[in-house]
């Protein structure tokens, strides 16, 4: 299982939100600095999210995204506000290793299918969801501000025959909290999809990463774990994270 450092962009800088709430934002300064630091530290991939674009559907931090993708040697997957073929093609054209579609996966699944067919392995779906009291995991759209009415397993099943690079699932209620990941949810996802599954949300310690790496369903394990706040805040070092993810 790979450890994938995350950098979220808002207003031209690196930030983290708590539970997807834009009113609970912590700023972490120069996003390019963090990207270079993670790449120099040996990151197998960097997860880059344009939060402004996710909210508005426009490439608000587009110039910064391009600068980061071009400046680092590590592969970069880009998420946030990718809702057209033109934007996805643009990101692939500047060197993004993988492009993540979230809102579009619900509202325009045919777009995901077309892009995945044209770029096998370079398209991922980002399934950001909140868990209700009854256990239902409902997807959130447009920068986590809209309810979709669609359940996580329902949407992922619709892409079983599409050549996706990954299914990235973020538990919004845990994101940015350092409170631990949703292990049960990732077991369900591994059982529901043939695609590589990447965990996101809640990682706060090396023990959390070891727990994720131990999740196994029918011989399959998670392919990656995205770590954001824990690294930016210093709760976890890059070396500790990599060691915890190693087999």
Q: Report the catalytic residues.
A: 8, 128
Tokens of 135: 């256990």
Packed helices 206-213 and 183-192: angle between N→C axes, nearest 10 degrees: 30
Q: For residue 16, what are the β-bridge partners?
A: 26
Q: Is the CB of residue 31 less than 8 Å from the CB of residue 65?
A: no
- Extended strands (E) in the chain: 2-10, 13-18, 21-27, 46-50, 76-79, 98-101, 123-131, 137-141, 146-151, 166-171, 197-200, 216-217, 220-221, 224-227
CA 52 to chain centre: 15
């Amino acid at each position: 299982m790979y450890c994938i450092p995350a950098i979220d962009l808002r207003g031209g800088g690196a930030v983290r939100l708590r539970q997807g709430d834009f009113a609970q934002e912590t700023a972490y300064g120069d996003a390019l600095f963090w990207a270079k630091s993670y790449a120099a530290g040996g990151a197998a991939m960097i997860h880059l999210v344009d939060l402004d674009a996710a909210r508005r559907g426009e490439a608000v931090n587009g110039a910064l995204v391009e600068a980061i993708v071009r400046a680092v040697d590590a592969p970069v997957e880009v998420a946030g506000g990718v809702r057209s073929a033109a934007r996805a093609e643009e990101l692939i054209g500047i060197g993004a290793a993988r492009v993540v579609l979230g809102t579009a996966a619900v509202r325009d699944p045919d777009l995901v299918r077309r892009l995945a067919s044209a770029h096998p392995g370079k398209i991922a779906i980002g399934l950001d969801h909140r868990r209700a009291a009854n256990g239902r995991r409902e997807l959130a759209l447009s920068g986590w501000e809209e309810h979709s009415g669609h359940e996580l397993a329902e949407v992922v099943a619709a892409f079983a025959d599409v050549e996706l690079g990954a299914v990235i699932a973020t538990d919004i209620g845990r994101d940015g909290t350092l409170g631990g990941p949703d292990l049960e949810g990732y077991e369900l996802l591994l059982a529901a999809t043939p695609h590589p599954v990447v965990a996101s949300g809640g990682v706060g310690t090396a023990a959390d990463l070891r727990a994720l790496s131990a999740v196994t369903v029918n011989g399959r394990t998670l392919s990656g774990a995205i770590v954001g706040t824990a690294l930016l805040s210093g709760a976890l070092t890059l070396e500790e994270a990599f060691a915890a993810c190693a087999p």
